[in-house]
Each structure stands twice: as structure tokens, then as C-alpha cells.
């Protein structure tokens, strides 16, 4: 993994230079991209055809049983994918006062705009299955680190310390010390520039209200 160019840097000072909004900005709620649910649906449909072939082939009870099993799996995949498509989880919520990341592992994160000190886009070169790809990440730096509040960390202090050390190490090694990193293109089908621009608007609005 290699770090590319850094662009779209926003700090509270630079966001405050934007024109003050004349009206309250609308709340934004962005859900997980539906492409994953469609992949599951297509997978279920593709399994449907070989299941019928196995059920009615001349292989006897053995292939017939395997066909029934694959048929059940195909139906479950298609129905489950369709249900998932209509109940996609909220990945990002932006209000006038907070940035909410309900599905950020390993805990739900809620950040006041005034707590953000810097937002930057970083382009990283990733290797997936031997193929090098470019990915744009939105990196956020906060005034103070986010405490681990997930149930597992609360129940096991050793896991909490391990998770915090791992997160800190990855943050410094890969993200240059930023506290949060998101890939909006993969997660919510939005570009990093769009995400940063929407955050900048609300940071400017929050700064104008507090001043």
C-alpha cells in the first residue's frame, strides 16, 4: 500500500472562510451502497439453475439431495439480498451539529463538528488479488482521540488496549496520524471530494454559530 497525493485539505479556519449559509443545511443520511445486496441477489439467481439440473439429473438420490440444498441456498440468498436491499444500514449521518458514523468498526462514532481539526483526502494505492488499484480516503483528525465504547472493549480491558494500540499504529503508519479514515466511494458511493465538501459546509456553519 502506497500513499499518493494529498488534496482537499480542510481545517476549521479554511472552512470558516466559506460564505455563511443563509439557511440551515439539511440533514444528510447516506446508506450502504446497494451493490452488495444486488451481488447477493445475482448469486442466488445463478445458483438456482444448477440446483434444478442436479435435482433432475440421473445421478440419483445423492445429486438430488445436493440439488435441493443448493436450491434452498439460492432462495435464501435471493430473498435475503432483496430484504437487505430494502433495509440498507445507515453509514453516514450529517446534521448541523454532528457527524455520525453508526457502522464504523468497532463502535458507533458521533463527532461534533467543532471537534474536527482537519479533513484531508488521501489517495492510496491498494493491492487487491494482485491488482493495483487507486482508492480515495477521507482522513479526519480530531482534537482528542475517540474512546473505545463498544461492548467488547467495555467487557474486556485487554481487548480495549489491544484495539487502541492497533488503531494508533495503523493510524500513524498508514494515515499519518489521523483518527478516522473512510472510503466513501466503496461504502456509500460518494466521492471523497463530495464528502469533504459537505463536511466543510457544516463545519463552517458550526463555526459561525459558535462565534
Which domain covers residue 71, as residue numbers? 35-86
Same domain, 120 and 199: yes
Same domain, 130 and 26: yes
Largest Cα–Cα distance of the chain, in whole Å?
79
Is residue 91 included in any domain, yes or no? no
Q: How large is the angle between the packed helices 61-86 and 35-55, nearest 10 degrees?
A: 160
Same domain, 119 and 179: yes
Coil, strand or helix: which one is 150?
Answer: coil
Same domain, 6 and 55: no
Same domain, 176 and 155: yes
Same domain, 128 and 195: yes
Same domain, 27 and 119: yes
Is residue 73 included in any domain, yes or no? yes
Same domain, 134 and 194: yes
Is residue 99 included in any domain, yes or no? no
HEC string of 83-108 equals HHHHCCCEEEEECCCEEEECCCCCCC
Same domain, 58 and 152: no
- Cα(62)–Cα(9) distance, rounded to whole angstroms? 62
At residue 17, the pLDDT reads 47
Same domain, 128 and 202: yes
Same domain, 121 and 204: yes
C-alpha cell at 28: 444528510
Residues 6+ apart with CB under 8 A from 81: 37, 38, 39, 40, 41, 43, 44
- pLDDT tens per residue across all 211 residues of the chain: 444 555 556 666 665 544 454 467 889 999 888 888 999 999 999 998 888 888 777 666 677 788 888 989 999 999 999 999 999 999 999 999 999 988 776 667 889 999 999 999 988 776 666 677 788 889 898 888 776 655 655 566 776 676 666 666 555 555 667 888 888 888 888 999 999 999 999 999 887 766 5
Q: What are phi and psi of 145, to 5 degrees?
A: -60, 150
H or E segment and range at residue 82: helix 61-86
Is residue 100 included in any domain, yes or no? no
Distances in Å between the Cα of 57 and the Cα atoms of 44, 52, 63, 172 are: 20, 8, 7, 58
Same domain, 143 and 119: yes
Give yes or no for a cis peptide into 135 (omega within 30° of 0): no
Amino acid at each position: 500500500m502506497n500513499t499518493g497525493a494529498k488534496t482537499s485539505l480542510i481545517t476549521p479556519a479554511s472552512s470558516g472562510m466559506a460564505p455563511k449559509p443563509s439557511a440551515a443545511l439539511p440533514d444528510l443520511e447516506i446508506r450502504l451502497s446497494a451493490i452488495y445486496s444486488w451481488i447477493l441477489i445475482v448469486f442466488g439467481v445463478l445458483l438456482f439453475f444448477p440446483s434444478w439440473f442436479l435435482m433432475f439429473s440421473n445421478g440419483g438420490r445423492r445429486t438430488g439431495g445436493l440439488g435441493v440444498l443448493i436450491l434452498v441456498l439460492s432462495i435464501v440468498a435471493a430473498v435475503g439480498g432483496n430484504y437487505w436491499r430494502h433495509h440498507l444500514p445507515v453509514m453516514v449521518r450529517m446534521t448541523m451539529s454532528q457527524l455520525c458514523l453508526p457502522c464504523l468498526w468497532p463502535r458507533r462514532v458521533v463527532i461534533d463538528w467543532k471537534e474536527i481539526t482537519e479533513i484531508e483526502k488521501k489517495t492510496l494505492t491498494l493491492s487487491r488479488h494482485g491488482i493495483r488499484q487507486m482508492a480515495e480516503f477521507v482522513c479526519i483528525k480530531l482534537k482528542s482521540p475517540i474512546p473505545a465504547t463498544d461492548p467488547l472493549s467495555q467487557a474486556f480491558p485487554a481487548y480495549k488496549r489491544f484495539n487502541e494500540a492497533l488503531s494508533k499504529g495503523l493510524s500513524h503508519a498508514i494515515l499519518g496520524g489521523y483518527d478516522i479514515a473512510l472510503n466513501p466511494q466503496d461504502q456509500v458511493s460518494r466521492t471523497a471530494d463530495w464528502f469533504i465538501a459537505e463536511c466543510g459546509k457544516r463545519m463552517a456553519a458550526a463555526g459561525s454559530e459558535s462565534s
